[in-house]
Structure 1
Amino acid sequence: MRALSIGQLLVNRSNYQLLNYPKMTSINGKTQLTGLIGWPVSHSFSPAMHNAAAQALGLNWVYVPLAVAPDQVETAVSSLSALNFRGVNVTVPHK
């Protein structure tokens, strides 16, 4: 499976199991976007935990891993509002 790019942001292809998470199939125009910016992020359990919590609470929210290379952080962060992200968490090495 190919990686999906969202503007300058990249969802790592190793997160295939997240892309098949039931919540991911119901994204619509009202879905609230949140995520995790890091390099790498494929090892993180945060997307699975946040998506499970949102689903359990009946929230139309999705939390996506955003693999952002160190030289792309400024571009990625400045793109978040244009992509209607509600917010993101930041992990290594960008903390």
Structure 2
Amino acid sequence: MPSVNQYFDDKVTSIAFQTSTKPATVGVMSIGEYEFGTSEFETMTVVSGALTVKLPESDEWQTFNASQSFTIEAQKKFNVKVEVESAYLCVYGQ
């Protein structure tokens, strides 16, 4: 059964669900800047819009557009800037 979570004063909404093989979330981020923490390995794919991301142990910001993905190791923090409402898919585990 999907569950809905909201973060950052309702500026980020995610819906958790189980794919055929792994847990995942799909969600939307409003314009803003956010810091997220991971509890396990994550693969994030931008579905619509763009996410500008500062990955762990990096000083550089990278922009990921629709259909592009990036990964984050478990127990890490990363920063995201959103300039236009954007949608994402996050799959957990390797």
TM score, norm. by length of structure 1: 0.35
Structure with greater helix percent = 1
Instruction: State TM-score, norm by structure 2.
Output: 0.35
